[in-house]
Amino acid sequence: MRLGRLAVLTAVGCLFAAPSARANYQFSFTGITPGSTVPLGTPIPVKVFLNFVPGTDNNNYLATGIQSVALGLRFQGGNLTYTGSPATPTTPLNYTPNPDWTIFSGRGPTDPSFPAQSGFNNLMGFTGFNTTSTGAQSGSTNNTNNGGTTTSLYIGTFNIVPSTPGGPVTLQAGFLNPSGTGNVFAPGIGNLDGQTTAGTIGFTVVPEPTSMALVGMAATGFVGAMWRKRRAARSVEASAAV
């Protein structure tokens, strides 16, 4: 009997001692539909957001302000570049930041602050800072005008160029340095790295319509030439038989 009571008390104690679930944040994309096909060689303006998914604490720090974000774009399968690649990303050619970032910069694929991640290739890195005491807030018109909401903070638009056709590609938005800290920082709160996860999107790259048309025309011309050659050969055979 005593053992039973002890087990119950221990279980209750563990419930009170267990930390409550924390709010979660995850990167996401717009500009490419998951599972869609995209044309080869055409720059695609892909928007990246940081989304809030409520936990038991329900503290949405996107609304109160995010002071800095250090973002890394990586991919696997096929090949992606960015407008102006391989030059170091510069605005506005390669990307357009959320106007609430008062200090920002791009990172090339080989930048030392942008380490490689197993299974992925580096595409482009980005850092954005807001120097005010509140940080960049999801309620800002600069956020809502770019598709953000009270629970989704617009990071920036990145001009991605698919450069290899034929095959699935996965694009990932995550930390600039996954082994570092302070990739997502909220003033008065600290870094949110432990609560933030990467986001991915998959799509397939296909030849642009003009290239497909040229290939079709070439194939048609080849078939026509073969038909004419065979017809001429048959005519010669028929003449020889007479």
Tell me how far apart the alpha carbons of residues 114 and 126 are, in angstroms, rounded to a whole number.
9
Predicted local distance difference test score (pLDDT) of residue 237: 55
- pTM for this one? 0.79
pLDDT in the model for residue 1: 41
Side chain identity at residue 183, one-letter code = N
pLDDT at residue 207, rounded to an integer? 87
What per-residue confidence (pLDDT) applies to 9? 37
160 with 130: CB under 8 angstroms?
no
Q: Give the pLDDT score at 55.
A: 77
State the Cα–Cα distance between residues 41 and 32, nearest whole angstrom: 15
Q: Which domains does the chain have, with CATH numbers?
A: 22-208 (2.60.40.680)
Residues of the chain with pLDDT under 70: 1-23, 56-57, 208-242
Closest-CA residue to 123 (of 156, 178, 168, 85): 85
Question: What pLDDT shows up at residue 241?
Answer: 56
Predicted confidence (pLDDT) per residue in 74-107, tens digit: 999 999 999 999 999 998 899 999 999 999 999 9
